[in-house]
Amino acid sequence: MDVITEGTINQDEPVADVVNAVVAIKSCQTPILRINDNQSDLQGRILFSAGGFIVGARINVTGESGYGAVRKLLMVRDGNYAILDPMRKPTAELNQALWLSTTKLVALLPNLPEASQSILDAHPERITESAARPKTGQLDLAPIMAAVGAPKDHAVIDPSIATHIEEESRQTVGNKQASRKYNEGRWRTIKTLIQLAFTLLIVAAIMLNSESVYGVVSAGLKTVGIDTDLSKYMEPLTQGIVIKAKKDIAAKKKPSK
């Protein structure tokens, strides 16, 4: 969280002046007032909303929240404070949708009542764009929660909540863009050439090392029980060819009668 301003709480700068300083800030729609008591371990934060309302608070040590936490923190007379901009950080733990009017509250300081009815604004004014923090896009749920709890004798409409859906915008890519230049046919041709070159390399390696390759293959086949010696199968065939050739030669040499 960014610190907008900070200072001390004392007789010269009472809590009432600090609250007015928070309300006067226009650059932040949901400022947070952090208060530390110098006389005890009391520490906590108060969440404000645009329009001069306190919507919730929480004490760090005890975890107490709601109006009781607001009352204890704003009754500090000797301490220090810091006004924070929550930016994009969530503020749900500080939001109890109290809608306490700071105008009524400051008038009663430093002695706040034990009950919040006298300073509670049952119908907080609806401020245009109060539900969305500018620039950051963070949502302030306090106006929406208050609308849910408001009396239903009339419809509650928040002008800051969109009632229609904008047309979807799509980004198209032109045919000449780099992302559209992929050519599947060209890639298939390149893939085929790579496979062919790899096959030729394997064939060349086998031809240059044929004896070594034959020895390795023969040894592997013998280990699985396959005989690679073909001489015993080729010998009868070669003998038959030789005998037939001799007979043909002898027949040609016989004189004709």
pLDDT in tens, 123-150: 555 443 444 444 444 555 555 565 555 5
Q: What is the pLDDT of residues 162-189, one digit of tens each?
A: 545 455 455 555 555 555 555 677 888 8
Mean pLDDT of 78-104: 91
Q: Which residues of 143-173 are buried (b: 16+ CB within 10 A; e: fewer)?
A: bebbbeeeeeeeeeebebeeeeeeeeeeeee
Average predicted confidence (pLDDT) for the chain: 78
Give pTM, 2 decimals: 0.49
Whether cis (ω within 30° of 0) applies to the bond prior to 86 is: no
CB 113 within 8 A of CB 119: yes
At residue 201, the pLDDT reads 87
| Cα–Cα distance for residue pair 185/239, rounded to 1 Å | 57
pLDDT tier at 253 (50, 70, 90 boundaries)?
A: confident
CB 85 within 8 A of CB 1: yes
| Cα–Cα distance for residue pair 193/103, rounded to 1 Å | 83
CB 50 within 8 A of CB 24: no
Least confident of 22-31, 76-85, 222-231: 222-231
User: Is pLDDT larger for residue 16 or for residue 136?
Assistant: 16
Report the Cα 152 to chain-centroid distance in Å. 39
| Cα–Cα distance for residue pair 71/109, rounded to 1 Å | 10
Whole-number percent of the chain with pLDDT over 90: 33
CB atoms within 10 A of CB 212: 10
At residue 83, the pLDDT reads 94
Q: What is the pLDDT of residues 22-58, one digit of tens each?
A: 999 988 989 999 999 999 999 999 999 988 899 999 9
